[in-house]
Amino acid sequence: MSVERVAELFRAGRLAAEYPLVRGLLSAADGDGLRRAGHVLERLRPDDVLREHPDTSVLTVAVIGHGTVGTVVPVLTAELARHGLLMRPFLGDFQGYVVELGDPGSDLYAADPDLVLCVLDPAVVFDEVGVPWRVDDVERVLGEKVRLVERLAARFAETARGTLVLNTLPLTSHATAQVTDHRSRARLGAVWRAACSDLLRLGESNPSVVTIDLDPLIAEGIAVTDQRQSLYAGQHLSAELLARYAREIGHLARHLAGLTKKCLVVDLDGTLWGGILGDDGVEGIEVAGGYRGRAFTAFQRTVKQLASHGVLLAAVSKNDLGAVREALDKHPEMTLREDDFVRVIANWRPKHDNLRELAGDLNLSVDSMVFADDSAFECGLVRRELPGVAVVALDEEPALHAARLLADGWFDSRELTVEDRSRPRLYREELVRKDFLDSFASLDDYLTSLDVRVRLEDAADTHVSRISQLTLRTNQFNLTTRRLQPADVQAFAAEPGRRVLAVRTSDRFGENGLTGAIFVRVVGEVLHIDNFLLSCRVFSRGIEQACLLAVLRHASAAGLREVLGTYRPTAKNGKVRDFYTRNGFVSVDGGADGGVDRAADGGVDRAADGRADRAADGGADGAAWFRHDLDEIADPPAHVRLFDGLAVPETGGTAS
């Protein structure tokens, strides 16, 4: 019914205007429904949606490969729409992936894609081994193909700014059955898996690459190929496998658009354990014992594993807090304990109100939350009141809880950093800070006692992944919300006259880690601040002012004439719209006096310097500019101790 509603909106000419509804309409759509919705959505022009909803994230996605891969485009369009994203597709030529990736002047690179899906299939090998073939022949061709892909990936890293997605090659029974002795079959499997292992490891040496492992998807019972489609149409992977692959790409696209979820909020009764705590007591709830108890324990283990990867874990339950704490801390077979949660909320208030309050306490948007509950009523209420929250509807079958939670990869990211693993601890400390604040009569007294320490330094190579992650995950204190991959950060820092500054913070409660970044470049006598972003955990403590003023002082010491800052408004960064004016800058009209022009603001000329301009694109989407003449630079907040590790910036950089 929801899919039909999408078609109705399109026929009525209202789909662009109502595009935000599509995410909810497709949230529970199955494979066939997504394909049908995709055929409708791919007829919708992204520009029509952007006129109605300019904050909608849009990604250019190129699909190339060895065989016919165009059937993935409709379902991929629908998968992105499920997450509120728009897709501009680019479809490569049949068997054209080598030319398209290998030629810097190809149409692929001209399309400037955010994602390039190079869909590989077993025929890329077996089309070249000849007949008859032996395992040695397969091993030789596999090696040649892996080395070819490595060279193409290196060319992509040198030429493009986006992410190249590869995949492992499924080994089919059709291939193994043509080898009649089991020793040779075993060796074929070994050399095949070794080649796939090389593809999976390619991202370790090339940060532009992500490799999707198809084996876990096939293990779900999906057919690898349809022989008729393979022979007659050159589509060597089945439509079902391509659709499941598209779901994985949807998760990656959501992450690249900065929409990765951060906090998992779970119900307790019927979700983490069986029974009703208030009726059955701590001894009577189902955990570990019995077949249902084992299912609830398996779900708790899954949740604890996610928390170990930096997912914030909270509980919201209609229960008495004392009984909940007793269950979590005293039940001998409980896997999750209260210390595993950043907050446990147990009361009789509406859950959507508790979620709003929790988001405020954690300084997160409710859009960063995933809510899992076995009550259809509670799930429906949260969907209605907080549409930005991802709702995972569970039911009375606990054996399926984990699969339903994991199905949409809500917390997927490209790389796990040290800060990720520390995130739950850091947020628990943040809640201690909030309680500490409540004990003071004034904010000034609190900040003075907090003993805020900031270190501003040039970003090192070891900081690149974390800074990229900040651009992808930070929305509120992010002055331009430019999403950058690690290669984009590296490219910006490598350009003459450009620097990426890292912000590290700590206080009386401990280290906060790398919590911010500033992108700057010198053009003649002007220092441009192309972006400034700070984790929501630490802003509003004077850290942002101290760092900005340090940048101004360095610009003055280098003999520069002025500093220009860029702000690009989005739906979530409105609280920093006056950041520059509150710190001594004045608003300027872009291009009015020649100080801010299309070249000097880092305008997008990707043919010349695509990657660096990805970070410096301050000239579009309603961006505003602010100027500081460096005549009077304010003193930093007295309660912040700044450790300045920056060298005096060099002058004379050139505009892009």
Q: Which residue has the higher pLDDT, 576 or 619?
A: 576
Q: CATH assignment of 57-256?
A: 3.40.50.1110
Residue 612, pLDDT above cutoff 50: no
For 567, phi and psi rounded to 5 degrees?
Answer: -130, 125
pLDDT digits (tens, 9 = 90+) for 445-465: 777 888 889 999 999 988 988
Question: What's the pLDDT tens digit per position in 279-303?
Answer: 888 888 999 878 899 999 999 999 9
Q: SS3 for 619?
A: coil
Mean pLDDT score, 327-337: 93
CA separation for the pair 639, 540 (Å, rounded): 12
Average pLDDT over residues 133-151: 95
Lowest mean pLDDT, pick from 102-116, 137-151, 377-391, 479-493? 479-493
Report percent pLDDT > 90 for the chain.
63
Choose among 443, 423, 451, 271: nearest CA to 362.
423
Say which CATH superfamily domain 263-406 falls into. Answer: HAD superfamily/HAD-like (3.40.50.1000)
CA-CA distance, 274 to 396, in Å (whole number)? 9
Q: Which helix (H) or strand (E) holds 339?
A: none
Q: What phi and psi, each to the nearest 5 degrees, are found at residue 507? A: -160, -165
State what percent of residues in the chain have pLDDT above 70. Answer: 92
pLDDT for residue 190: 96
Which residue type sits at 361? D
* Contact indicator for 97, 118 with CB cutoff of 8 Å: yes
The letter for the amino acid at 373 is D
Tell me, what's the pLDDT at 290?
Answer: 81
Estimate to the nearest angstrom the gap between the alpha carbon of 87 and the chain centroid.
16
Q: Burial, 47: exposed, middle or buried (Cβ in 10 Å; 0-12, 13-18, 19+)?
A: exposed
Query: DSSP class of residue 649?
Result: P
Residues of CATH 3.40.50.1110 domain(s) within the chain? 57-256
- HSE at residue 146, side-chain half, CA atoms within 13 A, is 21
Nearest to 150 by CA among 94, 213, 91, 200: 200
Residue 177 buriedness (CB in 10 A; 0-12 / 13-18 / 19+): exposed
Sequence ranges of the chain with CATH classification 3.40.630.30: 420-644
pLDDT tens, residue by residue, 479-502: 998 888 888 898 898 899 999 999
Stretch(es) of the chain classified as CATH 3.40.50.1000: 263-406
Evaluate if pTM is beyond 0.85.
no
Residue 626 near residue 580 (C-beta atoms within 8 A) = yes
Amino acid in position 385:
E
User: What is the distance between the alpha carbons of residues 360 and 652, in angstroms, rounded to a whole number?
Assistant: 44
Q: What's the pLDDT score for residue 431?
A: 73
Q: How confident is the model at residue 597 (pLDDT cuts 50, 70, 90)?
A: very low
* d(C-alpha 447, C-alpha 545), whole Å: 14
Backbone torsions φ then ψ of 596, nearest 5 degrees: -125, 105
Per-residue pLDDT of 434-446, as tens digits, reads 667 676 767 787 7
Return the bridge partners of 563, or none: 527, 628
pLDDT in tens, 538-560: 777 889 999 999 999 999 999 99
- Measured distance CA(604)–CA(616) in Å, rounded: 8
Sheet holding 498-507, edge to edge: 586-588, 624-628, 562-567, 526-534, 510-523, 498-507, 452-458, 640-644
- Is residue 179 scored above 60 in pLDDT? yes
pLDDT for 258? 83
Please state which CATH number belongs to domain 420-644.
3.40.630.30
What is the overall mean pLDDT for the chain?
87
